[in-house]
């Protein structure tokens, strides 16, 4: 008996000791470990699926970047007109809280764009850092593995560049090279391993360009998977680079070669494509009822979103805002601001595409997105780096460098936009430039952030006049052109500094 | 017995059964003694007859028959018989005398049979008695040992919980020994006494013999090097406690127990020796009968993340207080390190009652509790005052506040619009001022609870048992709240031989909790803030709508998803038409096996399996605000529109969860004395596994009459609506989850003592967890300890004889902690969606490769003393702990690419001391008086904060260039929970702005402002003076006014930017330390007075040295503009909360120039009232309190009555809980920290306990 017991006891102890390592090797259920290149593809794939099927409501595995800024920028730029009652409180005659923040360019809601952009790039950093170390899944060979790894990584690189470029455009004080963005290039497991600070604007641009160049190198090795990829293609990268040099050329981070580079990349992106003069083509581009067409001669990609489900990333670019800052079903009856209306000539095809006359008068309202009358304000479309943009970038870059062909490029553009007599193309370089800039304003009317960034780039003064006893003026080079850095970035544990002017407005969060 | 009681009592059946059994016994016994006899007289005279002839003779003479089987009887000769007037029985006696035969008469038949020689039975002497201590308290578990001679066989018995024993002694000689830990042994020479009652005296010598149960080992206290405290079942008795953890409040030095809520079934949060985490998790490890506690099922995720350890999830709540034998709290490393990586927050060891060798004993106890309905004295306005207040706001702010001034505002608006006349307006205001509803009366009730516990206990040499059934029915003070619990427990111990010991324990628990399922409105908040002019019922008895509590009568919080409009919200309808119900079942099986392999070497194996199952439901009836708020489908179809009322469909959510857990430990223990040396070694391995599953579904339609469920139909649906848009809403109605984790551990402890004077101990443990990466999977933790029993030294006994006991202890070691939600690898969950025929992910998590076990280093010094034959006892502990690698969920700058990260961040150092003392003032047979007190001082310093820098100092020193509103900051070198802010210095009479006191640094900045003065324009100077931030240009004042919109300077003001900067600097530099959130001192004391059979006990607890947020209607009220308000010009706090009721003091707010008051004028304007976000001395109040937790009067019935009733013991006690609280805090409950939660109420408890 005793012997048996002793054996039993010893066996028990040994068995428990011996099986320990496998005992603890328990992986969580319902969760897969990111191991193979297919797992990486599945992460970004959920985002690609969302981009290509905008009607789908569900969230991708990674949070979306701050696509939509139109709600703020269209008010900031004066491109929407707002009911008087929502600016002035009828009862008191005082300026409303809404007007005091949005119309005074002081909205703090802009910080969410910063936060969304960075939270979006975290997983991209993880993919870029580690996808090449992933395992080869069963059933594919090494070559195929590298192809998949390349086009997944390439896609991530372009999106990181795009996101940082936008962050830089909205958040850097335009002329101050010292205050670029935070270049967060890795996934930080331990935040004490890094102390983040703002890079200079030049460093920021260089990083963004280097991501794009790396993507171009990958493209030499591996072509895009047409079914899967979205931004990972040469045309799109060239377009973005043209836009970057164009925006950079007047900034604090400017370099002498910027205008030249803008021309080079704009040319490579245009690649002989001709601007369409068919108003239906323009209409189609912005028509949200046609949600599946996302690539076209006239633009390299567009992102559309309809519906109001949880995955909503941006609201309509042509946004009407009521006092609550919310979409309002009667937006269609708001007339255009008078100074905007005069830009649209009767023989401009864009007048027909963008505007809709209001019944019984000379007033027009915006209907670029064919939303008038429909109860679907919470949809939107973003078409960055359009062919029209490339033409105008090229024209401006040439004009600024005194290259004679500038007027020829403008002429091509105007021919596509006007029927009958096109506007006179001025010979004077400065007046030529003015016309190019005027065309930019018309062309990108109410498009997500375009006018606001143009105002920032050109350092304009915007005077709304006296409203409710307050003079609402955005001076040239005003601090409000650079959006505030979120208070969460600014604690004493961080080297990130606030944009000048916002220090006393934004509370530091601990 | 009261018939009524029986009818309502669920134990009725048990009682009836017992009564029946008793009755049957009685009948049997009676029939046994009820023999018949025959008194017929006979006369006989005969000589030398055989029995056969005698029988015939008798047969002829009398009517008797004879029956016998043995034919030999007939030949027996009978001598001479001359009998006169004898009965048959006498005659038979004479005839059969000496024949070897006997007879029996039954029904006129005489049965004759052979007489069986009587076997001489060994004589046994039954001895009974009661053993009490010097205060006449019965002692349970006293060993009664009989030995006939020194070498003779030992016989034993143990006293039951009433101190009674019974032992059968084989001879009228020998010795009975009565022995009990901590008492002097008593010897009695046995000479045949039938009753021996003993009074045992406490012995200083034997104090050392107290045994500490660590859950793994039983160790004599004199060999224990750690810091522990033991709470015995006796200490818990009569306290009227509902939960064990609640019972520990104020009883254990250094243990801070905070009851989070008075809701039925909710547990207290326990902190031992201060916080060592930065995110507030301080839950200790619970050990039940030797293994980590299991049981309970986590809630399905659809129920939301409640505070961990609430109603259903926890096994601690499954133990009936009556089943507990002792609770041991292990506080330092030497005591707790054997539990290693889960012991950093301390260990609480619970031992349940076991059987003992005795005849079967029954015990029964019942508690009846009356819970007092809560009342608050917050000094709120009555109807006419509130209406006057609303009127005053309308006067001051006009149309701006139409929608913020309660019913007056709405009426005023109608009047102003011309919808109603002045008369109608006045009439309505008059009508309203006549209503004064006390909402507490309608929402709360006094409630009654009862609990019953029935136990059977006993055993033999081979088998002992403890069985109990407990039942409790608790009603909450909230109308809808109710809980029942039925628990059974069986502890069996089987000893087949003297080497083996097999234990079997089974416990089961069935509980049900019911409450309302209202969403979005808290009933306590409502009871406090609902306007007194609102009514619960209309005159016709229907529910009256409340038009003011939910802001602008929207159910939904933001106008963007406006949803169903709410015009008829009524709290009583919500409470009765929304129902949540949770049923939980737990089964717990523990097997243990002990075998003595060699002398001193013992093997123990324990295994426990626990299974828990929970079913929950949430039924929401149509027509409630909750139903409309939860509506998800109509919202998609009617995007941005008011959803039609037909989508008010009710909702049903049902969920279920189960958990399966097992743990196992095998250990070898060797204990041996070698002369003066004692050695003890233990090695063990332990493994735990835990799997939980949950699922739930939600039906968007629920018809509570027919029980129908389904999905709504859309008649006029938008043609563009796609399947995909509904897919999410449908997907959200299902939920499931699974969690699993495992740990494996190896440990060893060693103990050596020399002459029991010097003790050295050590332990080491390796813990591994399934979730930790290979690099850090196992963590080694160890401890060492020492002890010197000074009073055992000869010199001591000579030098200080009045100190009869003195021991010194010291320990050092490590314990740990782990977070199981951080994986070392990156994870995704695959979505059901595909893209290009490939599955895509729907969730991505970053890896946490660097996650490590957090480690706590503990250092403890202790001393135990007792004076004057233990009349005074003293204990002291000094500790210093340091916890490194504290794992927290750190919110990071989003520019790290993520919102938060699991991170081994901080280092916290806990320091403190604990004292406890007991004094036995009087100790006579009929009168005793005993007091005990415990007291702990605790400091928690941050050595490394969540963030890595110590530049928070900048903020406190005022060098920080930014806006800071004060509040709690983790500053390196300072204590956790430190709160910083400003000193409130009254209200500026001219401007009505609040004022803050300036520090010296602030005054320096003020001087700079004066230097700058001349550069200001005249208007600016004038404004500065009027607003009160410059009261004089001649000198520097002590305080400065805080202009609400200026100090954090949002926007452009009339002063220049430079002035703003200086003002901000004045504010920043005047920041000061306001106090700490955690109590500095915690403790408790108790007094026990016994007189004969009466006893009076009081137990008190106190917490001191901390501040808590002052209860303020501005901070706690529902913010009405957030729930659908449209007038965004009113964003300042005071106006925001004016729809609902307010404290009276706001009637005296500053309104006009030169008003003298301490309530600042209400801020108004486009920007929020920044001052209301500041933390000032006006926002805090001392959190000190002293609470009489219980007052207990109990009485034991005298023995003569007990004898008549044939029971061993009857005790009746009445307990008042939380009857008295002394505090400066005005608010709901100072003990819950003033937060807005279900308060812990006063209660009166009556308890009856019986032993038989």
User: What pLDDT tens digit does each residue of chain A (510 aa) get?
Assistant: 556 656 665 555 555 544 555 666 666 566 778 889 999 999 999 898 888 876 555 678 888 888 878 778 888 988 877 777 667 766 566 677 677 778 889 887 888 899 999 999 999 999 999 999 888 888 888 889 999 999 999 999 999 999 999 999 999 999 999 999 999 998 887 776 778 899 999 999 999 999 999 999 999 999 999 889 989 999 999 999 999 999 999 999 999 999 999 999 999 999 999 998 888 888 888 876 655 556 678 888 777 765 443 333 334 333 443 333 334 433 444 667 777 788 888 899 998 888 877 666 666 777 777 665 444 445 667 888 899 999 999 999 999 998 988 999 999 999 999 988 888 888 888 899 999 999 999 999 888 889 999 999 999 999 988 887 778 899 888 999 999 999 888 876 788 888 988 876 776 665
Tokens for B378, please give them: 């917050």
User: With contacts defined as CB-CB under 8 Å, which chain A residues touch B741?
Assistant: 26
Question: Which member of B687, B897, B903 has the closest CB to residue A118?
Answer: B897
**3-state DSSP assignment of residue B464:** strand
pLDDT in tens, B1173-1216: 788 898 888 889 998 888 989 898 888 888 888 888 888 989 88
Give the distance from CA B46 to its chain's centroid.
Answer: 90
Q: Do B833 and A46 touch (CB under 8 A)?
A: yes
pLDDT score, position A334:
63
pLDDT in tens, B141-179: 788 888 877 777 777 788 877 788 888 888 888 888 888
pLDDT score, position A374:
47
CA distance A205 to chain B (A): 17
pLDDT score, position A13:
55
**3-state DSSP assignment of residue A313:** coil
More confident residue, B220 or A469: B220
Question: Which member of A46, A57, A508 has the closest CB to residue B831?
Answer: A46
Please tell me the distance from the alpha carbon of residue B757 to that of residue B318, in angstroms, as a whole number.
41
pLDDT above 70 coverage of chain B, percent: 80
Q: Which residue of B747, B835, B942 is the best one to mutate when testing the A interface, meaning the one whose CB has the most A CBs within 10 A?
A: B835
CA distance A41 to chain B (A): 8
- Measured between its terminal Cα atoms, the distance across chain B in Å is 16
Please give the backbone phi and psi of residue B131, each rounded to the nearest 5 degrees, phi first. Answer: -120, 125
Please tell me the distance from the alpha carbon of residue A86 to that of residue A320, in angstroms, as a whole number.
12
pLDDT score, position A7:
61
Please tell me the distance from the alpha carbon of residue B1137 to that of residue B1144, in angstroms, as a whole number.
14
pLDDT score, position A331:
41
pLDDT score, position B31:
35
More confident residue, A466 or B398: A466
Please tell me the distance from the alpha carbon of residue B1247 to that of residue B1095, in angstroms, as a whole number.
14
Question: Which member of A56, A323, A496 has the closest CB to residue B895?
Answer: A496
**Cβ–Cβ contact A256 with B under 8 A:** no
pLDDT in tens, B592-639: 999 988 888 889 999 999 888 888 899 999 888 888 778 777 766 665
Tokens for B616, please give them: 């929950």
Length of chain B, in residues: 1252
pLDDT score, position B41:
64
User: Of A170, A146, A253, A249, which is closest to residue A207 (Cα–Cα)?
Assistant: A253
Whether B301 has a pLDDT exceeding 50, the answer reads: no
Q: Span B941-950, mean pLDDT?
A: 62
CA distance B701 to chain A (A): 21
- Which alpha helices (DSSP H) does B418-453 contain, by range? 422-433, 439-443
DSSP A141: -
User: Of B189, B209, B233, which is closest to residue B324 (Cα–Cα)?
Assistant: B233
pLDDT score, position A309:
35
Q: Span B1032-1037, mean pLDDT?
A: 78
Q: Span B476-484, mean pLDDT?
A: 84
Whether B1163 has a pLDDT exceeding 80, the answer reads: no
Please give the backbone phi and psi of residue B115, each rounded to the nearest 5 degrees, phi first. Answer: -80, 125
Q: Which residue of B403, B641, B829, B897 is the best one to mutate when testing the A interface, meaning the one whose CB has the most A CBs within 10 A?
A: B897
Whether B1059 has a pLDDT exceeding 60, the answer reads: no
**Adjacency order of strands within the sheet including B1072-1076:** B967-968, B978-981, B1072-1076
CA distance B1106 to chain A (A): 22
Interface ipTM: 0.87
Whether B16 has a pLDDT exceeding 50, the answer reads: no
Q: Span B73-81, mean pLDDT?
A: 76
**Cβ–Cβ contact A309 with B under 8 A:** yes
Q: Do B828 and A307 touch (CB under 8 A)?
A: no
Please tell me the distance from the alpha carbon of residue A204 to that of residue B1188, in angstroms, as a whole number.
65
Using left for φ > 0, alpha for ψ between -120 and 50, and beta otherwise, residue B90 falls in alpha
pLDDT score, position B29:
37
Q: Do B835 and A32 touch (CB under 8 A)?
A: no
Q: Do A9 and B839 touch (CB under 8 A)?
A: no
Please tell me the distance from the alpha carbon of residue A242 to that of residue A267, in angstroms, as a whole number.
9
Give the distance from CA A326 to its chain's centroid.
Answer: 21
pLDDT score, position A339:
77
| Model confidence band, residue B311 (pLDDT cutoffs 50, 70, 90) | very low
pLDDT score, position B26:
37
More confident residue, B660 or B41: B660
More confident residue, B1212 or B550: B1212
Buried b (16+ CB within 10 A) or exposed e, B60-75: eeeebebebeeeebee
Please tell me the distance from the alpha carbon of residue A68 to that of residue B386, in angstroms, as a whole number.
45
Contact B735, B809 (CB under 8 A): no
Whether B1124 has a pLDDT exceeding 80, the answer reads: no
CB atoms within 10 A of CB A211: 24
Q: Do B398 and A91 touch (CB under 8 A)?
A: yes
Please tell me the distance from the alpha carbon of residue B211 to that of residue B141, in angstroms, as a whole number.
13
Using left for φ > 0, alpha for ψ between -120 and 50, and beta otherwise, residue B98 falls in left
pLDDT score, position B940:
83
User: With contacts defined as CB-CB under 8 Å, which chain A residues touch B1049?
Assistant: 504-505
| Model confidence band, residue B6 (pLDDT cutoffs 50, 70, 90) | very low
User: With contacts defined as CB-CB under 8 Å, which chain B residues touch A196?
Assistant: 893, 895-896
Contact B454, B322 (CB under 8 A): no
How far is CA A430 from each of CA A278, A307, A458, A462, rounded to the nearest angstrom? 30, 45, 14, 21
Whether B903 has a pLDDT exceeding 80, the answer reads: no
More confident residue, B515 or B274: B515
Question: Which member of A24, A59, A104 has the closest CB to residue B744?
Answer: A24
CA distance B778 to chain A (A): 10
User: Of B808, B754, B818, B750, which is closest to residue B782 (Cα–Cα)?
Assistant: B750
CB atoms within 10 A of CB B306: 14
Least confident of B575-584, B970-979, B1172-1181: B970-979
Q: Which residue of A484, A492, A501, A502 is the best one to mutate when testing the B interface, meaning the one whose CB has the most B CBs within 10 A?
A: A492
Tokens for B785, please give them: 């300890």
Q: Which residue of B500, B769, B894 is the best one to mutate when testing the A interface, meaning the one whose CB has the most A CBs within 10 A?
A: B894
pLDDT score, position B452:
92
Whether B217 has a pLDDT exceeding 50, the answer reads: yes
Q: Which residues contact A198 (CB under 8 A, 6 or more apart)?
A: A178, A179, A180, A181, A182, A495, A496, A497
pLDDT score, position A243:
96
Report the chain A residue with the minimal C-alpha distance to residue B1132.
Answer: A97
Q: Do A189 and B901 touch (CB under 8 A)?
A: yes
More confident residue, B182 or B953: B182
CB atoms within 10 A of CB B795: 8
Please tell me the distance from the alpha carbon of residue B1215 to that of residue B1218, in angstroms, as a whole number.
10
pLDDT score, position B504:
94
pLDDT score, position A322:
33
Give the distance from CA B1056 to its chain's centroid.
Answer: 58
Bridge-based pairing of strands B854-867 and B803-817 is antiparallel
pLDDT in tens, B553-562: 443 333 333 3
Please give the backbone phi and psi of residue B575, each rounded to the nearest 5 degrees, phi first. Answer: -65, -35
Q: What is the mean pLDDT of chain B?
A: 78
Whether B24 has a pLDDT exceeding 50, the answer reads: no
User: With contacts defined as CB-CB under 8 Å, which chain B residues touch A308?
Assistant: 636, 639-640
Q: Which residue of A36, A478, A509, A510 is the best one to mutate when testing the B interface, meaning the one whose CB has the most B CBs within 10 A?
A: A510
Whether B1167 has a pLDDT exceeding 50, the answer reads: no
Contact B928, B1070 (CB under 8 A): no
Please tell me the distance from the alpha carbon of residue B1130 to that of residue B1135, in angstroms, as a whole number.
7
User: With contacts defined as CB-CB under 8 Å, which chain B residues touch A287?
Assistant: none
More confident residue, B773 or B480: B480
Report the chain B residue with the minimal C-alpha distance to residue A14.
Answer: B685
Q: Which residues contact B206 (CB under 8 A, 6 or more apart)?
A: B181, B182, B183, B184
- Please give, one letter per residue, the 3-state secondary structure of B590-636: EEEEEEEEECCEEEEEEEEEEEEEEEEEEEECCCCHHHHHHCCHHHH
Degrees to nearest 5, angle at CA A107 with A475 and B561: 150
Q: Span B1032-1055, mean pLDDT?
A: 60
């Amino acid at each position: 008996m005793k012997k048996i017991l002793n054996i039993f006891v010893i066996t028990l102890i040994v068995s428990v000791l011996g099986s320990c390592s496998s005992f603890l090797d328990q992986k969580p259920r319902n969760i897969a470990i990111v191991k193979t290149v297919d797992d990486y593809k599945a992460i970004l794939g959920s985002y690609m699926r969302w981009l290509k099927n905008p009607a789908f409501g569900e969230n991708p595995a990674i949070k979306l970047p701050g696509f939509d800024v139109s709600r703020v920028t269209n008010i900031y730029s004066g491109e929407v007109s707002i009911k008087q009652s929502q600016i002035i409180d009828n009862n008191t005659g005082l300026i409303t809280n809404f007007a005091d923040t949005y119309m005074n360019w002081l909205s703090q809601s802009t910080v969410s764009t910063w936060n969304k952009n960075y939270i979006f790039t975290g997983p991209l950093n993880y993919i870029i850092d580690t996808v090449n170390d992933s395992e080869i899944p069963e059933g594919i060979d090494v070559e195929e593995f590298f192809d998949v790894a390349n086009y997944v990584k390439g896609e991530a690189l372009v999106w990181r560049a795009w996101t940082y470029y936008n962050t830089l455009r909205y958040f850097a004080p335009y002329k101050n090279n010292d205050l670029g963005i935070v270049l967060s290039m890795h996934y930080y497991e331990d935040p004490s391993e890094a102390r983040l600070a703002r890079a200079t604007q030049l460093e920021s641009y260089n990083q963004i360009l280097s991501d794009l160049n790396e993507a171009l190198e990958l493209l030499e090795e591996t072509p895009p998977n047409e079914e899967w990829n979205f931004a990972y293609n040469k045309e799109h990268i060239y377009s973005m680079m043209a836009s970057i040099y164009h925006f950079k050329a007047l900034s604090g981070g400017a370099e002498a070669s910027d205008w030249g580079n803008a021309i080079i990349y704009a040319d490579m992106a245009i690649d002989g494509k001709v601007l369409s003069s068919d108003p239906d083509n323009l209409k189609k581009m912005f028509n949200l009822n046609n949600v599946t067409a996302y690539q076209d001669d006239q633009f390299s990609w567009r992102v559309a979103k309809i519906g109001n489900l949880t995955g909503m990333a941006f609201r309509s670019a042509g946004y009407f805002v009521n006092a609550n800052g919310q979409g309002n079903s009667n937006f269609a009856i708001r007339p255009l601001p008078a100074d905007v209306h005069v830009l649209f000539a009767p023989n401009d095809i864009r007048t027909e595409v963008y505007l809709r006359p209001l019944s019984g008068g000379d007033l027009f309202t915006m209907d670029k997105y064919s939303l008038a009358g429909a109860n679907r304000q919470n949809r939107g479309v973003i078409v960055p780096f359009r062919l029209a943009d490339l033409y105008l970038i090229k024209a401006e870059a040439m004009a600024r460098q005194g290259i004679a062909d500038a007027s020829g490029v403008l002429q091509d553009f105007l021919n596509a936009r006007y029927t009958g007599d096109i506007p006179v193309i001025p010979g004077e370089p400065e007046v030529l430039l003015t016309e190019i800039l005027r065309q930019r304003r018309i062309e990108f009317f109410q498009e997500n952030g375009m006018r606001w960034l143009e105002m920032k780039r050109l350092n304009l003064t915007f005077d709304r006049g006296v409203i409710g006893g307050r003079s609402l003026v955005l001076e040239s080079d005003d601090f409000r052109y650079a959006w505030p850095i979120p208070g969460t970035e600014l604690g004493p544990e961080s080297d990130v500094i606030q944009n000048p002017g916002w220090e006393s407005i934004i509370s530091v969060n601990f | 017995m009261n018939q009524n009681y029986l009818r309502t009592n669920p134990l009725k059946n048990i009682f009836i059964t017992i009564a029946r059994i008793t009755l049957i016994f009685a009948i049997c016994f009676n029939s046994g003694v009820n023999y018949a006899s025959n008194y017929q007289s006979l006369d006989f005279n005969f000589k030398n007859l055989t029995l056969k002839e005698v029988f015939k003779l008798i047969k002829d003479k009398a009517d008797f028959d004879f029956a016998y089987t043995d034919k030999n009887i007939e030949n027996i000769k009978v001598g001479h018989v001359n009998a006169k007037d004898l009965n048959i029985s006498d005659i038979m006696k004479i005839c059969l005398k000496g024949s070897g035969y006997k007879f029996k008469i039954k029904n006129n038949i005489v049965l004759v049979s052979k007489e069986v020689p009587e076997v001489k039975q060994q004589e046994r002497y039954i001895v009974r008695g009661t053993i009490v201590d010097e205060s006449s308290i019965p002692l349970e578990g006293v060993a009664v040992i009989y030995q006939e001679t020194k070498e003779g066989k030992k016989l034993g018995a143990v006293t039951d919980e009433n101190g009674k024993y019974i032992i059968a002694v084989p001879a009228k000689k020998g010795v009975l020994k009565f022995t009990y830990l901590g008492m002097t042994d008593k010897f009695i020479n046995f000479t045949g006494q039938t009753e021996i009652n003993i009074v045992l005296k406490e012995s200083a010598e034997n104090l050392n013999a107290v045994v500490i149960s660590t859950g793994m080992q039983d160790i004599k206290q004199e060999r224990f090097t750690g810091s522990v405290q033991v709470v015995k079942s006796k200490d818990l008795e009569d306290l009227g406690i509902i939960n064990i953890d609640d019972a520990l409040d104020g009883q254990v030095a250094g243990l801070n127990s905070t009851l989070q809520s008075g809701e039925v079934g909710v547990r207290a949060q326990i902190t031992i020796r201060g916080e060592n985490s930065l995110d507030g998790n301080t839950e200790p490890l619970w050990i039940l009968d030797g293994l980590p506690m299991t049981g309970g099922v986590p809630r399905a995720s659809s129920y939301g993340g409640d505070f961990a350890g609430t109603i259903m999830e926890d096994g601690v709540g499954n133990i009936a207080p009556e089943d507990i034998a002792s609770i041991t709290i292990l506080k330092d490393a030497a005591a707790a390190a054997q539990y290693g990586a889960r012991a950093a927050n301390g260990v609480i060891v619970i031992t349940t009652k076991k059987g003992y060798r005795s005849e079967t004993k029954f015990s029964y106890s019942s508690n009846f509790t009356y819970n007092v309905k809560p009342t608050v004295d917050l000094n709120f306005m009555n109807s006419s005052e509130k209406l006057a207040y609303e009127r005053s706001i309308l006067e001051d702010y006009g149309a701006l506040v139409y929608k913020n001034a309660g019913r007056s505002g709405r009426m005023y608006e109608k009047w102003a619009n011309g919808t109603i006349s002045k008369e109608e307006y006045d009439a309505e205001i008059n009508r309203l001022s006549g209503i004064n509803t006390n909402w507490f009366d309608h929402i709360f009730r006094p409630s009654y609870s009862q609990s019953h516990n029935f136990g059977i206990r006993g055993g033999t040499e081979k088998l002992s048992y403890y069985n109990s059934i407990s039942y409790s029915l608790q009603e909450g003070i909230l109308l809808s709240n109710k809980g029942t619990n039925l628990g059974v427990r069986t502890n069996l111990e089987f000893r087949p031989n003297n080497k083996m010991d097999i234990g079997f324990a089974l416990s089961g628990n069935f509980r049900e909790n019911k409450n309302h399922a209202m969403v979005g409105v808290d009933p306590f908040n409502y009871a406090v803030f609902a306007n007194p002019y609102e009514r619960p019922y209309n005159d016709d008895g229907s529910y009256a709508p409340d038009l003011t509590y939910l802001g602008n009568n929207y159910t939904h919080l933001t106008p963007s998803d406006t949803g169903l409009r709410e015009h008829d919200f009524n709290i009583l309808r919500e409470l009765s038409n929304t129902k949540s119900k949770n049923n939980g079942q737990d089964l717990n099986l523990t097997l243990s096996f002990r075998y003595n392999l060699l002398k001193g070497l013992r093997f123990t194996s324990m295994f426990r399996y626990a299974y828990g199952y929970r079913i929950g439901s949430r039924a929401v009836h149509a027509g409630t605000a909750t139903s409309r708020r939860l509506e998800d489908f109509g919202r998609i179809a009617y995007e941005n529109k008011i959803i039609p009322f037909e989508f008010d469909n009710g909702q049903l959510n049902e969920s279920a969860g189960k958990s399966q857990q097992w743990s196992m430990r095998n250990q070898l223990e060797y204990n041996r004395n070698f002369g003066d040396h004692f050695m003890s070694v233990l090695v063990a391995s332990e493994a735990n596994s835990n799997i939980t599953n949950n699922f739930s579904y939600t039906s968007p339609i629920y018809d509570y009459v027919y029980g129908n469920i389904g999905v709504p139909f859309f008649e006029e649906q938008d043609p563009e609506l796609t399947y995909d848009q509904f897919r999410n809403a449908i997907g959200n109605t299902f939920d499931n989850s699974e969690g699993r984790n495992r740990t494996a551990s190896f440990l060893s402890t060693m103990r050596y003592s020399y002459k029991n004077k010097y003790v050295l101990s050590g332990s080491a443990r390796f813990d591994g967890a399934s979730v930790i990466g290979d690099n850090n999977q196992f963590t080694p933790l160890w401890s060492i300890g020492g002890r010197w029993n000074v009073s055992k030294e000869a010199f001591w006994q000579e030098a200080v004889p009045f100190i009869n006991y003195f021991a010194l202890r010291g320990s050092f070691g490590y314990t740990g902690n782990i977070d199981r939600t951080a994986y070392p690898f990156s994870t995704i969950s695959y979505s059901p969606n595909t893209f290009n025929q490939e599955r895509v992910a729907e969730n991505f998590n970053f890896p946490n490769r660097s996650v490590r076990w957090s480690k706590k280093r503990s250092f403890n010094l202790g001393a135990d003393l007792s004076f004057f034959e233990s009349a005074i006892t003293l204990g002291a502990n000094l500790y210093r702990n340091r916890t490194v690698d504290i794992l927290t969920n750190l919110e990071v700058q989003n520019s790290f690419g993520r919102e938060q990260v699991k991170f081994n961040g901080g280092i916290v150092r806990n320091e403190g001391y604990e004292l406890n003392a007991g004094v036995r003032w009087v100790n006579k047979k009929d009168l005793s008086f005993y007091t005990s007190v415990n007291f702990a001082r605790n400091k928690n310093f941050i050595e490394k904060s969540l963030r890595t820098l110590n530049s928070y100092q900048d903020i406190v020193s005022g060098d920080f260039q930014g806006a800071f509103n004060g509040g709690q900051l983790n500053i390196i070198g300072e204590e956790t929970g430190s709160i910083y802010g400003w000193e409130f210095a009254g209200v500026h009479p001219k401007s009505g702005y609040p004022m803050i006191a300036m520090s010296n640094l602030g005054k320096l900045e003020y001087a700079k402002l004066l230097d700058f003065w001349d550069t200001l324009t005249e208007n600016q100077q004038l404004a500065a003076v009027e607003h009160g931030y410059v009261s004089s240009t001649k000198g520097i004042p002590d305080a400065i006014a805080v202009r609400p919109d200026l100090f954090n300077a949002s926007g452009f003001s009339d002063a220049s930017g430079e002035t703003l900067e200086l003002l901000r600097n004045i504010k920043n530099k005047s920041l000061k330390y306001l106090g700490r959130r955690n109590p500095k001192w915690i403790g408790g004391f108790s007094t026990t007075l016994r007189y004969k059979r009466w006893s009076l006990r009081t137990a008190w607890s106190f917490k001191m040295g901390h501040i808590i947020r002052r209860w303020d209607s501005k901070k706690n009220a529902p913010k009405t503009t957030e729930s659908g308000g449209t007038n965004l010009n009113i964003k300042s706090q005071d106006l925001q909360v004016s729809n609902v009721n307010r404290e009276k003091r706001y009637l005296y707010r500053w309104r006009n120039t030169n008003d003298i008051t301490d309530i600042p004028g209400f801020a108004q304007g486009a920007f929020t009232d920044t001052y209301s976000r500041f933390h000032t001395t006006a926002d805090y109040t001392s959190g000190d309190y002293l609470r009489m937790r219980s007052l207990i009067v109990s009485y034991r019935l005298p023995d003569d009555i007990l004898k008549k009733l044939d029971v061993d013991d009857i005790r009746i006690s009445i307990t008042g809980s939380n009857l008295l609280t002394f505090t400066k805090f005005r608010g709901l409950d100072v003990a819950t920290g003033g937060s807005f939660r279900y308060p812990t109420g006063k209660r009166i408890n009556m308890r009856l306990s019986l032993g038989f």
